[in-house]
Amino acid sequence: MKDSAIHPVVKILRRATRAWRTPYVTELSQQRRAPFHILISTILSLRTKDAVTAAASQRLFALADTPATILKLTPRQIERAIYPVGFYRVKAQNILKVCRALIDESAGRVPDEIDALVKLPGVGRKTANLVVTLGFGKPGICVDTHVHRITNRWGYLQTKTPEQTEMALRAKLPRAYWIEINDELVALGQNICHPVSPKCSICPIREYCDRIGVTRSR
């Protein structure tokens, strides 16, 4: 993909994604920009299907929805609320540790800087970027497996890891597209640009894609 193609590609994806399901964490941010809810839901979403994340988040927040009230729950109560998210026992412990850190270090407030967020238990750069962008409306680029895979499949980047992809996008992607690119590529990846046998025949941006590494498609 030529660098200049990113402009028509984003324009096309903006239209196309209206017909696709919005990721739950994005829906949550649209309902109300609550950084704590976005932080916890993103922790739950790691290696978990979106519908499972949504249901688990709603069950947990029905029990407690602030750091202080979550700390009143037992690990077992949190586990039951969030099951069957991936690694639910580990995530229950991390949620309690995150809530304790927020109470002890920032009076219960979620930090709005990536460097501070990644110091929290179980919080990596993907989660931190989502909290910064969706929770606070600040510039950031959330890179998950979809963003990493698709930007390399396009030929827009040549990177080996999601962290390399984030840094390459920060250097190359126009700043106006930073916040939205995750939602658009997650939707594209879930609906069309699958890891194996992507639906290239119906992809709205197929004319711009170099299809790097694609050996079989539909």
> DSSP labels for 105-172?
HHTTPPPSSHHHHTTSTT--HHHHHHIIIIIH--------HHHHHHHHHHTS---SSHHHHHHHHHHH
As a whole number of angstroms, the distance between CA 191 and CA 13 comes to 12
CB of 208 closer than 8 Å to CB of 9: yes
- Annotated active-site positions, please? 126, 144
